[in-house]
Amino acid sequence: MGRTREAGCVAAGVVIGAGACYCVYKLTWGRDENEKILDEDEESTDTSETGVETVKGAKANVGAGSGAKLHSDSKVKPEVSLGLENCPGVKEKVHSGSHSGGGLEAKAKALFNMLKEQASAKAGKGVRVGIISGNRTLAPSLPCPGGRGGGCHPTRSGSRAGGRASGKSKGKARSKSTRAPATTWPVRRGKFNFPYKIDDILSAPDLQKVLNILERTNDPFIQEVALVTLGNNAAYSFNQNAIRELGGVPIIAKLIKTKDPIIREKTYNALNNLSVNAENQGKIKTYISQVCDDTMVCRLDSAVQMAGLRLLTNMTVTNHYQHLLSYSFPDFFALLFLGNHFTKIQIMKLIINFTENPAMTRELVSCKVPSELISLFNKEWDREILLNILTLFENINDNIKSEGLASSRKEFSRSSLFFLFKESGVCVKKIKALANHNDLVVKVKVLKVLTKL
């Protein structure tokens, strides 16, 4: 083992010494040889030949210099010729490199680089082609901030760009492009295992558990799931009574005050299903003014507003609690003018509930309404809106006659609903214009209204 170790050390010393000699040669003799080759290349610029002729001149010059150099160059020549024969694309680049005066060593390096690139291209790891703009190369594989791909991250042009594309930066670019952009909006998710599905029909003990969860939690996600579960169960009459008897109405109604619009919407939906029961309406009436105020001030045409209007419509089907909302008549008519198609239909259903109660007529016709409300009688509106506005006019006209308010016209201002529907005469003209409507149902409704004038 000792002699083997000594032999290994000797071999390592020989290798190190050979490497040192080669470095000395490269720093001294090799530089002189390259300078001589460059001088001869500059003198032969009058010839139009490229590539092979330059290699021959370089070989001759090296042969005149030293035998050892000639031996090493004789090995390079077949490699160069082989690369030129098998790789025409490489041949052109080697020729262009030799024409620029790079020397035999530069040609060999260029050939080696091109062969390396072609080998990597065959293996599916070719250099990426960028979109050149000015003196910068745009890498199309990198993600643009806020976008999906595109050339927004520039790299330097030239040979270094190709090296970076095929080197370590290539792996970094791929890791950046696969990184998902961070979301800035809140995600309503939680790890709470809710004991029931939202569409399960629950018994009274199970409803008690859901109410206890809703009462104790402040997590919006849990509140939403619990409210949807209770709202779905409140669609069944036997559970409407069970939720009321378990004290569920105050627990649900306390969430009207929350600032989360999703929670308020689910709260109104649950109370809306509960309000179908007459006894539940007696419990919900405590919160009806609060619901009305929130519905009027929330975002126009939003889901919260629609849910609130549906709840108010259910609560005013009977005459018991309509007086609690009489202060909001002007807001109802303003919303009737400003809202979209669905809001208009829902608010008209609500107002029609009031018009079917003769006791509410005086307060209703004395409220101020926008004069643009008359535009709802135009024939451009669809059947549902026209039928609702005609029903609204018919009911108010009948109530004015039955309550004897026609003789009290001096009590109402020119901006009141009474003046718009009864005194101005504009509504009657609009209704007569609808007598030729294309829809037969609308035409029949118009004729019915006109016969009562």
Q: What pLDDT digit, counting tens, does each position of 329-367 carry?
A: 999 999 999 999 999 999 999 999 999 999 999 999 999
Give the separation between CA 201 and CA 229, rounded to whole angstroms. Answer: 9
Region 121-149 average pLDDT = 37
Q: So what's the pLDDT on residue 135? A: 38
Q: How confident is the model at residue 99 (pLDDT cuts 50, 70, 90)?
A: very low
Q: Which of 118-132, 280-294, 295-309, 430-444 has the lowest mean pLDDT?
A: 118-132
Residue 259's Cβ-count burial label (10 Å; 0-12, 13-18, 19+) is exposed
Whether the per-residue pLDDT at 417 is higher than 90: the answer is yes
Give the separation between CA 307 and CA 289, rounded to whole angstroms. Answer: 15
Q: How confident is the model at residue 65 (pLDDT cuts 50, 70, 90)?
A: very low
Strand partners, 154: 138
* Phi, psi for 156 (deg, rounded to 5): -65, 145
pTM of the model: 0.59
Q: How confident is the model at residue 33 (pLDDT cuts 50, 70, 90)?
A: low
- In 191-236, which ranges are continuous DSSP H helix? 204-216, 220-233
- In 28-127, which ranges are continuous DSSP H helix? 29-43, 52-65, 67-86, 88-99, 103-122
Q: Which of 48-57, 322-331, 369-378 has the lowest mean pLDDT?
A: 48-57
- Cβ(210)–Cβ(235) below 8 Å: no
Q: So what's the pLDDT on residue 444? A: 95
Helix (H, G, I), strand (E, B) or coil at 302: coil
Q: How confident is the model at residue 195 (pLDDT cuts 50, 70, 90)?
A: confident
Q: So what's the pLDDT on residue 8? A: 72
* Nearest by Cα to 79 from 90, 65, 66, 69: 90
Q: So what's the pLDDT on residue 376? A: 94
Q: How many CB atoms lie within 10 A of CB 266?
A: 25
Whether the per-residue pLDDT at 204 is higher than 80: the answer is yes
Q: So what's the pLDDT on residue 12? A: 74
Give the separation between CA 106 and CA 37, rounded to whole angstroms. Answer: 11
Q: So what's the pLDDT on residue 112? A: 64
Give the separation between CA 264 and CA 271, rounded to whole angstroms. Answer: 11
Q: How confident is the model at residue 128 (pLDDT cuts 50, 70, 90)?
A: very low
Q: So what's the pLDDT on residue 96? A: 47
Assigned token pair, 275: 């309000």
- Sign (positive or negative) of CA dihedral 70, 73, 74, 77: negative
Whether the per-residue pLDDT at 202 is higher than 60: the answer is yes
Q: How confident is the model at residue 375 (pLDDT cuts 50, 70, 90)?
A: very high
Ranges 69-83, 163-177, 372-386, most confident: 372-386
Whether the per-residue pLDDT at 177 is higher than 70: the answer is no
- Cβ(270)–Cβ(234) below 8 Å: yes
Q: So what's the pLDDT on residue 416? A: 93
Helix (H) or strand (E) holding 132: strand 131-133
What are the pLDDT digits (tens) for 4-30? 777 777 777 777 877 776 666 666 655
What are the pLDDT digits (tens) for 212-253? 999 999 999 999 999 999 999 999 999 999 999 999 999 999
Q: So what's the pLDDT on residue 35? A: 54
Task: Name the DSSP class of 277.
Answer: S
Whether the per-residue pLDDT at 78 is higher than 70: the answer is no
Residue 340's Cβ-count burial label (10 Å; 0-12, 13-18, 19+) is exposed
Q: Which of 32-41, 65-74, 421-430 has the lowest mean pLDDT?
A: 65-74
Q: How confident is the model at residue 2 (pLDDT cuts 50, 70, 90)?
A: low
- Cβ(354)–Cβ(364) below 8 Å: yes
- In 287-439, which ranges are continuous DSSP H helix? 288-297, 303-315, 329-338, 341-355, 361-366, 383-403, 417-418, 426-433
CA 186, distance to chain mean position in Å, is 13
